[in-house]
Chains A and B, each alone.
Chain A
Amino acid sequence: MSATRIDTAGMPARRSAAPALILLAALVAALLIAPVWIYPVFMMKLLCFALFAAAFNLLLGYTGLLSFGHAAFFGGAAYVSAHAMKVWQVTPEVAILAGIATAVVLGLVIGAIAIRRQGIYFAMITLALSQMFYFFCLQAPFTNGEDGIQGFSRGRLFGLVDLNDTMNLYYFIAAVTVLGLLAIWRIVHSPFGQILKAIRENEPRTISLGYSVQRYKLAAFVMSAALAGLAGSLKALLFQFATLTDVAWNMSGEVILMTLLGGIGTMAGPVVGAAILVGLQNFFATSGFPVTIVLGATFMICVLLFRRGVVGELAHWLESRKA
């Protein structure tokens, strides 16, 4: 096994929780007052993708597995949530749980097959299996093919809070996103997370220490899939539709780019990357210049010039100043 691995900003195993708490407080405060200046729908879209990228980063940044098929979990959960709200007429929280359950099942199946190979093969297998799921969605009757599922009411959260009100929806999505990010922080900073990082750094050594690496990989894969599913369900709730774009391979590519752009293996990176990419997409969507070209060029520049990403480069710069 070669020594060069994915560049991650070094993260000390144990450190005091105080800076993290300050960061969390700042994030919550920013989210509370953001709608004053920023269009809430844009903020909500950003939050959904931030959670999606953070979920993806749990797998790439902390376990060292590059999945090229996360759209399956994101889009699969979006479809089931939308279907649950439209056809079964359930409340939003039940629809979201149904979406997460779908993502978990998909994650178990795809993960169990993909972890049989490593590295590049892992990426290609996840890509192929998610493409298979895409074709399934294209042909399955409940997804309405090219039209997608649309035109349903968001309903009332727990039967009480009306989510058709934009600000109610905003605070709900913000709260769920923060909880999702906290869950990822908790997973990464647990003994379980330490083992994931050990697998990322040196898999053969982790095996020789007696850990059943395959089980840990599968567990990380399913957790990442579940959180990606949560993000997909939120997105379906927000835009009130689920379509084939959510399960297509381009979506898997976008989430990789968000994570890469922000900083692989950093806590704040995926959030920053999602903000930059969603901002870029919004900007270029109105300009007439094709977004695909921007995405492709950003990918190439990121890989060639700053592999640590925005947050990673910043952390590296601060470290080098200290030294």
Chain B
Amino acid sequence: MTMIFGVPLPALMGQLLVGLINGSFYALLSLGLAVIFGLLRVINFAHGAFYMLGAFAAWMLLAYAGIGYWGALVLAPLIVGVAGMAIERLMLRRLYGLDHLYGLLFTFGLALLLEGTFRHFFGTSGQPYAAPEALRGATNLGFMVLPNYRGWVVAASLVICLGTWAVIEKTSIGAYLRAATENATLVQAFGVNVPVLLTVTYGFGCALAGIAGVLAAPVFQVSPLMGSNLIIVVFAVVVIGGMGSILGAIVTGYMLGIVEGLCKVFYPEAANIVVFVIMAIVLLLRPAGLFGKDS
């Protein structure tokens, strides 16, 4: 058997794949956080709860309406996005003129509320959600066996991340968004409806978390606690990358997922904390983050 640094190659590749999967979710979630923070200046603590909501929406669509994975992949993010827009419109909007910390505290309360509600009705044990027919089974790549669904998760998240990046950097809607991020008052003076832009952006960020939730449903179990465990790691990812750039959030997400996966091979005891250790080191060397522009 081929060995690399005393570790069998399939084991190394297996953990790399797990790392890449986790990295896909880190990237999708930190991308949504970065998009929301860029325009609204709100750290969306409820992002993990929206991710959980996406997974539960997929599960409920199947359980109560008989709508399968592919339908859920479209509908669940829509549901989550609309829920996000309603919350922005009715409540979050009132906090814009205040210190940014209030946005964080409000969304923290929202996360507790959502998580508590789902825990009340579904308990803490997870609900299983099967991968779609077309993506079951595995492909032998020669050096390792790749479960098809896992390959799909990595490919889909890459496409969504790069697509989002392209929309923000290359289209006119993206140009409005970037302009409003720089100076919202001036953009409004040019006749762009900034309040609507804010609502749509928040909804879009939440929908990204919803897509991540649907993608995650067959990999992990659908559980009320799936978001809160993830969101703190994603916060660390966001601090490491810096909120400055969209591409930075994506790259940092994948990178840290892979680092975490490698850590599981070479020093498993530290796998849970490696992201936080990297965060501390980055803060000491480059307080603005790897891709951050602000200080």
Residues of A within 8 A of B (CB): 2, 4-6, 66, 113, 116-117, 119-121, 123-125, 127-129, 131-132, 135-136, 138-139, 249, 253, 256-257, 260, 289-300, 302-304, 307
Contacts and interface: CB of A to CB of B under 8 A. Distances in A.
B271 to A, nearest CB: 9
A300 B43 contact: no
Contacts of B115: 292, 296
**How extensive is the interface on chain B, given as a class?**
35 or more
Majority secondary structure, A binding face: helix
B110 A256 contact: no
Contacts, number: 125
A116 B101 CA distance: 17
Given A4-B97, A120-B43, A128-B239, A135 B272 contact: yes
The 9 closest A-B pairs by CB, nearest first: A299-B109, A292-B116, A296-B112, A296-B113, A132-B276, A293-B116, A300-B109, A128-B236, A135-B272
Contact of B112 (A66, A124, A299, A302): A299
Given A125-B239, A299-B105, A113 B110 contact: no
A125 B236 CA distance: 7
Nearest to A298: B109
Interface in B111-142: 111-117, 119-120
A303 B117 contact: no
B21 to A, nearest CB: 20
B48 to A, nearest CB: 11
B18 interface: no
B104 interface: yes
A2 B98 CA distance: 9
Contacts of A289: 120
A312 to B, nearest CB: 14
Q: Which of B97, B106, B109, B239 has the most CB of A within 10 A?
A: B109
Contact of A307 (B100, B102, B283, B287): B102
Nearest to A60: B101
16 contacts: A117-B239, A117-B283, A119-B101, A127-B235, A128-B236, A131-B236, A260-B105, A290-B116, A293-B116, A295-B116, A296-B113, A296-B115, A296-B116, A297-B113, A307-B98, A307-B102
A224 B104 CA distance: 21
Nearest to A300: B109
A295 B112 contact: yes
Contacts of A131: 232-233, 236, 276
A196 B13 CA distance: 52
B109 A113 contact: no
A197 to B, nearest CB: 16
A303 B102 contact: yes
Contacts of A256: 105, 108
Nearest to A124: B235
